[in-house]
Amino acid sequence: MLDVDITRRAGAFTLDVTLAASSGVTAVFGPSGAGKTTLARCIAGLERPDSGRVALGGEVMFGPDRDLPPHLRGIGYVFQEPRLFPHLDVTANLLYGARPGTDPGPVAEMLDIGPLLGRRPGGLSGGEAARVAIGRALLRSPRLLILDEPLASLDRRRRAAILPYLERLRDSGTPILYISHAIEEVARLATTLVLLQDGRVAASGSVGDLLSDPDVAARLGPDQAGALIEGRITAQEGGLATVETPLGQLEVAGVDGPPGGRVRVRIRAEDVIVARMRPEGLSARNVLPCRIATLRAGQGPGVMLRLEAGDGRLLARLTRRSVEEMGLAEGQTVWAVVKTSGVARMDVGR
Ligand SMILES: Nc1ncnc2c1ncn2[C@@H]1O[C@H](COP(=O)(O)OP(=O)(O)OP(=O)(O)O)[C@@H](O)[C@H]1O
């Protein structure tokens, strides 16, 4: 529904991007200076590409003969900082730019900002202000919502607190373009991932496929690499959830939600230990038989392994020396050991 094929030069930097985004959350991920904000601004009409085409739902927003102004594109844009009007209360901020007669109730409820409606922005916390900014964009009934690092100014705890609201937003059906350089946010929210590097698309595809691809992992950097696994909670006990996944049953900490609920869990490559034989007497609860699908040596001392079991995939990062000493090779069957606590709370989502 969003089709982009543009180039834009700004100083020494050139953005040259082709992408197609459908429903759900399309995350544009990349390091600082990759061109994420420039791309978002070109789509919204806040910057003019030098050439190319931007279309939304088949309607051309920008092209050789057309350059629709931002307010006619039907795109909601939430900036890194909330940009609320300080002299207006939250209700008036929410309804600014919305059609007359719009009821802020359902959106206020979804974002849990009902109790704030009579307050001025000056008294809001960073997380509350971010939710109001998202609510304001939503109440204009956008055809596409662009969230440009809306959590960037928040600390880790506040970011974790706001992510469930963004999950609700995703599940409400408004297509979202989510700009971020935080992989744990992308892993939780995205349907599709576009990896931007030096102004170009380095990789794009389903977030699950991309995050478990060792070549993509190499681009993300060793600390950021980790595969995404979807599953269903089958039990909750003592803060530990049992999740049925394509890899088998996993016990993970920090997964909220009742039995039956679907969750996404990101398991960092660093948190996976590999054994040639089934280990006995371990404190770790998750021991999964897998096949080594690919083995990729990186630039440094690390080797990235892609492990498969059924339809499930894991990434594991080992040292080159371990791989040699253990005699690991593609096609072998091994045991992957995943610590229950290896899954951080930020990385677990519905
Ligand atoms: N008007 C301009 N003139 C010159 N260079 C520009 C201009 N606008 C952007 N750039 C350059 O384009 C590059 C991409 O910037 P952009 O803000 O799109 O990156 P980004 O991926 O959003 O980064 P960040 O994550 O730090 O926000 C940067 O190197 C920036 O300095």
pLDDT tens, position by position, 285-311: 899 999 999 999 877 788 999 999 988
Atom of ligand 1 nearest to the CA of 199: 14
Mean pLDDT within 263-277: 91
In angstroms, rounded to a whole number, what is the distance separating the alpha carbons of residues 191 and 179? Answer: 13
Query: What pLDDT score was predicted for residue 347?
Result: 62
Pick the CATH number of 2-211 from 3.40.50.1820, 3.40.50.720, 3.40.1000.10, 3.40.50.300: 3.40.50.300
Q: Residue 142 in contact with residue 76, Cβ under 8 Å?
A: yes
Q: Which residue's CA is the nearest one to ligand 1's atom 17? A: 37
226-349 CATH: 2.40.50.100
How far, in Å, is the centroid of ligand 1 from the Cα of 249?
A: 44
Query: What pLDDT score was predicted for residue 216?
Result: 87
How far, in Å, is the centroid of ligand 1 from the Cα of 281?
A: 53
Nearest Cα neighbor of 84 from 131, 32, 146, 142 is 131
Q: How confident is the model at residue 85 (pLDDT cuts 50, 70, 90)?
A: very high
Q: Which residues have CB under 8 Å from 215's CB, separation 6+? A: 203, 296
Query: What pLDDT score was predicted for residue 342?
Result: 61
Residue with tokens 């009409």: 45
Mean pLDDT within 47-57: 96
In this predicted model, which residue has the larger pLDDT, 198 or 263? 198
Distances (CA, A) of 243 to 182, 220, 231, 338: 25, 27, 6, 13
Ligand 1 binding pocket mutation candidate from 9, 14, 16, 36 (most atoms within 8 A of CB): 36
Q: Residue 144 in contact with residue 175, Cβ under 8 Å?
A: yes
Atom of ligand 1 nearest to the CA of 179: 22
Q: How confident is the model at residue 330 (pLDDT cuts 50, 70, 90)?
A: very high
Mean pLDDT within 233-238: 90
Please give the structure tokens belonging to residue 131. Answer: 């939710």
Q: How confident is the model at residue 346 (pLDDT cuts 50, 70, 90)?
A: low
Nearest Cα neighbor of 23 from 145, 138, 183 is 145
How far, in Å, is the centroid of ligand 1 from the Cα of 45?
A: 16
In angstroms, rounded to a whole number, what is the distance separating the alpha carbons of residues 136 and 161? Answer: 19
Neighbours of 179 (CB within 10 A): 24
Distances (CA, A) of 262 to 177, 234, 269: 23, 10, 22
Q: Which residue's CA is the nearest one to ligand 1's atom 1? A: 10
Query: What pLDDT score was predicted for residue 350?
Result: 62
Amino acid 215 reads: D
Condensed to tens digits (0 to 9), the pLDDT of residues 57-77 reads 999 999 999 999 999 999 999
Average pLDDT, the chain: 90
How far, in Å, is the centroid of ligand 1 from the Cα of 34?
A: 7
In angstroms, rounded to a whole number, what is the distance separating the alpha carbons of residues 52 and 59? Answer: 14
Pocket of ligand 1 (CB under 6 A): 10-11, 13, 30, 32-38, 181
Q: Which residue's CA is the nearest one to ligand 1's atom 31? A: 33
Atom of ligand 1 nearest to the CA of 41: 18
Query: What pLDDT score was predicted for residue 224?
Result: 82
ipTM for the assembly: 0.91
Q: How confident is the model at residue 344 (pLDDT cuts 50, 70, 90)?
A: low
How far, in Å, is the centroid of ligand 1 from the Cα of 33?
A: 5
Q: Which residue's CA is the nearest one to ligand 1's atom 11? A: 13
Please give the structure tokens belonging to residue 190. Answer: 């995205």
Condensed to tens digits (0 to 9), the pLDDT of residues 164-175 reads 888 888 888 889
Q: Which residue's CA is the nearest one to ligand 1's atom 10? A: 10
Distances (CA, A) of 106 to 109, 139, 167, 285: 5, 10, 16, 42
Condensed to tens digits (0 to 9), the pLDDT of residues 189-224 reads 999 999 999 999 999 999 989 998 888 888 887 778
Number of continuous H segments (helices) and E segments (strands) in the chain: 9, 21
Q: Which residue's CA is the nearest one to ligand 1's atom 27? A: 32
Query: What pLDDT score was predicted for residue 276?
Result: 95
Atom of ligand 1 nearest to the CA of 39: 18
Query: What pLDDT score was predicted for residue 34?
Result: 94
Exposure string (b/e) for 221-260, b if CB count within 10 Å is 16 or more?
A: ebebbbbbbebebeeeeeeebbbebebbebbbbbbebeee
Query: What pLDDT score was predicted for residue 345?
Result: 56
Query: What pLDDT score was predicted for residue 311?
Result: 86
Query: What pLDDT score was predicted for residue 194?
Result: 96
Query: What pLDDT score was predicted for residue 298?
Result: 78
Q: Which residue's CA is the nearest one to ligand 1's atom 12? A: 13
Nearest Cα neighbor of 15 from 25, 41, 26 is 41
Query: What pLDDT score was predicted for residue 239?
Result: 81
Q: Which residue's CA is the nearest one to ligand 1's atom 25? A: 32
Q: Of 97-101, 104-108, 187-191, 221-225, which gets the smallest average pLDDT?
A: 221-225
Mean pLDDT within 320-337: 96
How far, in Å, is the centroid of ligand 1 from the Cα of 46?
A: 14
Query: What pLDDT score was predicted for residue 146?
Result: 95
How far, in Å, is the centroid of ligand 1 from the Cα of 43?
A: 15
Indicate the domain borders of the chain: 2-211, 226-349
How far, in Å, is the centroid of ligand 1 from the Cα of 161?
A: 29
Continuous H helices in the chain: 36-44, 90-95, 105-110, 126-138, 156-171, 183-189, 207-211, 214-220, 320-326
Query: What pLDDT score was predicted for residue 23?
Result: 83
